[in-house]
Amino acid sequence: MQVPVFLHFWSVPLYGEWLIVSAVPTYLGVSSVGFGSVAGNEMSMMTARDDREGALRVFQSCWWLITVICSLCMLLLGIAVYFLPAAKYLKLHTIGSTDTKWIIFYLGCSVLLAQLETLLQSAYRCIGRYPYGSFIKSCASLAAFTIMLVPVCLGGGARITALVFALANGAFTFVLCLMVRRDIPWIRFGWSHASFAEIRRLAAPALAFMAFPIGNALNLQGTLLAVGYALGPTSVVIFGTARTVSRVALQMVQMVNATFWPEMSNAFGANDIPLIRRLHRLACQMALIIAVIVVAAMLLAGPWFLHRWTGGHVPPSRTLLSVLLLVVVFYALWSTSSTLVSAINQHQRLAARYLVATSITVVLTYLMAKRYGLYGAAGSLLVSELIMTVYVLPESLKIAHDTFEGFFASMLSYPQSLRPAALLARLRRTTPTFEPPEETV
């Protein structure tokens, strides 16, 4: 939705520079030091053991820590953008110097608020209502995005668009706080249960979680910046739009990961290894099926859809799209498998390898784009996916007490409960039998 709207009302160079400047604030996602995600895992495992007191202690400790850190980051961000010539460093020409600074500040504040939203979602996750929490967060994100499009459609520039988006995100974060307090009475926003000891205990896995937003930013925005430096803003639009289309499957894969994540935390908290193994196998199977189906559809209809979607502003390339779709298949497998490692706060080595892999990819993207153009940039994205696939699978199988043979065999077979004979037997058991009414005398 974003691409056709922006390209209809803005010029291609302006939209390309918007993509570049809006990529910078995403690095502030590391500001919470991963405490929101770690707290969600810990709270889920505690409530699986009926330890609500401990879950509340984790929530309040991380709430105040994230609030303080994000407030300091907002202050430092304001000082940094005031003194640094961001437009010069990013090689921007369409967006002015002052507007660039304000855009980075507004979008940076939005990213910082998202750290609190992660913790609020964790409250729903630990009581088994994660789908509801995710639905509310998704609705809020969609509403904020839709509101952001209003100034674009009305002829507004990049600066006012960023401001509207930041204000909408702030309002929805406040609403989410009110909803958590209403829906989960034992979750309170005070400080009576906060503990520095709890923060110290969670510090190591939280620090490791920093690598994921950094790695994601490098993999998405970092590679866009590399393409921008190597080939210019117009190539950024072509590359970014094609990758957006190719990543349609990943949106559904992320839904699979989000669904299984809290269940894996709960199963580990209850020490149910057979359930962990079943959840891991089923999650990976579902992710691969979704990825393969969507990739096949995009190989057939992707170029046509890309042309129609952008109104002809972005030239479609089947070769570029095919390479990016191959990246999606590898990502779907390892990212879903890594959910098990992350859900139980044993992700330190995983995080380190992800950061190294994405860092290598950004450098390689610039070099390959400079030498081979957009095709080279797309091919370079395979590097991090291959590195992560080779590392993640053995780690997850070890936690699940699984074998390679058993795991790969499960990828090619339906679960017993989904086979036709099992479904027919279940239908027979649940279908009521007809009994004639008793005769009356």
Rounded-to-integer distance, Cα 191 and Cα 65, Å: 11
Checking 179-187 for CB contacts under 8 A at 24+ apart, the result is: 179/136, 180/120, 180/123, 180/124, 183/124, 183/129, 184/123, 184/124, 184/127, 186/52, 186/56, 187/56, 187/59, 187/123
Its pTM stands at: 0.62
Query: If we measure between CA atoms, which residue out of 101, 105, 148 comes closest to residue 2?
Result: 148
Q: What is the pLDDT of residue 135?
A: 80
Residue type, 392: V
The DSSP string of 97-127 is: HHHHHHHHHHHHHHHHHHHHHHHHHHHHHHT
pLDDT reported for residue 186: 86
What tokens appear for 334 in the block?
């390892």
Question: What pLDDT does residue 422 have?
Answer: 46
Q: Looking up tokens 């490692």, which residue turns up?
A: 341
- The DSSP output letter for 432 is P
Cα 18 from Cα 11, distance rounded (Å) = 11
The rounded average pLDDT for each run of 10 residues, N- to C-terminus, in the chain (441 residues) is: 79 85 74 68 82 86 84 89 86 87 90 81 79 80 88 90 92 89 85 80 77 81 87 84 80 80 83 90 90 84 76 75 86 89 84 88 91 88 86 91 89 59 43 36 28
Lookup result for tokens 């117009």: 234
Greatest Cα pair distance in the chain: 97
List the one residue out of 34, 32, 113 whose CA is nearest residue 351. Answer: 34
Q: Quick one: pLDDT at residue 438?
A: 37
**Element counts in the chain: helices (H) and strands (E):** 19, 0
d(C-alpha 155, C-alpha 311), whole Å: 19
Query: Which helix H or strand E contains 3, and what residues bound it?
Result: helix 2-9
